[in-house]
Structure 1
Amino acid sequence: MLRSCLHLKVCLGLAIAATPLAAAAQDCPDWRLVAPKTIEASATSLFSRYQTPLIAGGSVNLTSCLSMPGIGYLAEAPDLSVEYDGQGDRRLLDIRVQSDCDTTLLVNLPDEQYVYSDDEDGLNPVIRISAAQTGLYDIWVGTIEPANCAAILMIETFDES
């Protein structure tokens, strides 16, 4: 499957960026674009929370992307890609943002479906994926207002009860 091949994704991202039609297709978040950072993580390794600082927001107004859920402003390319190994453990994958501004969260799942969150924990978004499957998760951290702000992205797994 295309989504599980990170190296092919990188090649496709470069090929798409080089085509003249790419400019028209860049108006919405695009999982085919390469994130500035990619990590490999497993259900076991994420029992210890992974966190990374980043700048939330971007120039893309998610409201204009009719095929995607949510509102807010974010970048075209994901802020982070996670090559996740569920290890067959069916753990809950918890993705959240902490910031002093009103942030949003958009995740493209391994099956290429998008999930969105806003204001789950005060003004901070949280996405919980039950029995998270192995594969590539592309993550965008956006803002409700067009201004960018500092944020911390946190990813952790939990046993499902």
Structure 2
Amino acid sequence: MKQYLLSVLAVFGLSTAAMACPDYSQWGDSYSVTGPQMRSPVRFNVVAGGENYIWNCPNVRPGTDQGAGYFTTAPDFTFDMSGMSGLRLEISVISKCDSALLINTASANWYYDDDDNGNMDPKIVLTRPLDGYLDVWVGTYDGDYCDAILELETFRR
């Protein structure tokens, strides 16, 4: 009987671990921002890193970069964006480690980047961002944790 209980606990423990992935139905630190407000860079301090390896997560399939990355389950930030028409949005990270960036847009699309901001930091450019919620995770390439700054800035298309 003891062996059976241990087997059942092991199965449930493994299935729970497999479900721990970035989840846009959860909320991060929430902010309302407008396109015009972000014409000057808007910055947020964050600790980059997480325990979920992105490619073990079947719910996350970015159509962009395919590098490694570890992220938390809940987003670091949830932005309620408005006034985005006619603008492009640059989302970037400056960190003290090899950081990675994962976002889920208002149209439920996933985007990932590892090094496009240079110096092992990520950047994602949305050429036609929509009004609505944008969830942002700041992770790391190798699962380490470090201090980082998330920056959002808009530009005319």
TMscore range, shorter length: 0.7 to 0.9
- Map residues 40-51 of structure 1 onto 2, 5 A cutoff: 40-51=32-43
- Given candidates 78, 82, 87, the residue that maps to 1:85 is 82
Q: In structure 2, the residue corresponding to 1:158 is in which secondary structure?
A: strand
Alignment match, 1:32: 25
Q: 1:74-121: CA deviations, max 9, x gaps?
A: 10000001100035x320111000012111100000011101111002
Distance 2:154 2:19 in 1: 32
Q: In structure 2, the residue corresponding to 1:111 is in which secondary structure?
A: coil
Distance of aligned partners of 1:154 and 1:61 in 2 relative to their CA distance in 1, 3 Å threshold: same
Count of aligned pairs = 137
Alignment match, 1:147: 144
Q: 1:17-49: CA deviations, max 9, x gaps?
A: xxxxxx5674210001121x1110111111121
Alignment match, 1:103: 99
Output the amino acid matched with 1:107: I
Q: Percent identity?
A: 33
Distance 2:123 2:113 in 1: 6
Distance of aligned partners of 1:156 and 1:135 in 2 relative to their CA distance in 1, 3 Å threshold: same
> Are 2:49 and 1:53 aligned?
no
Give, in angstroms, the shift of residue 68 of structure 1. 2.2
Q: In structure 2, the residue corresponding to 1:63 is in which secondary structure?
A: helix
TM superposition score normalised by structure 1? 0.79
- Given candidates 129, 134, 147, the residue that maps to 2:131 is 134
CA contact (8 A) 2:93 2:117 kept: no
Alignment match, 1:65: 57
Give, in angstroms, the shift of residue 65 of structure 1. 1.3
Q: Which has the larger radius of gyration?
A: 2
CA contact (8 A) 1:86 1:132 kept: no
What do you get for the CA RMSD once the two structures are aligned? 1.7
Output the amino acid matched with 2:109: Q
CA contact (8 A) 1:90 1:130 kept: no
Give, in angstroms, the shift of residue 131 of structure 1. 2.0
Alignment match, 1:14: none
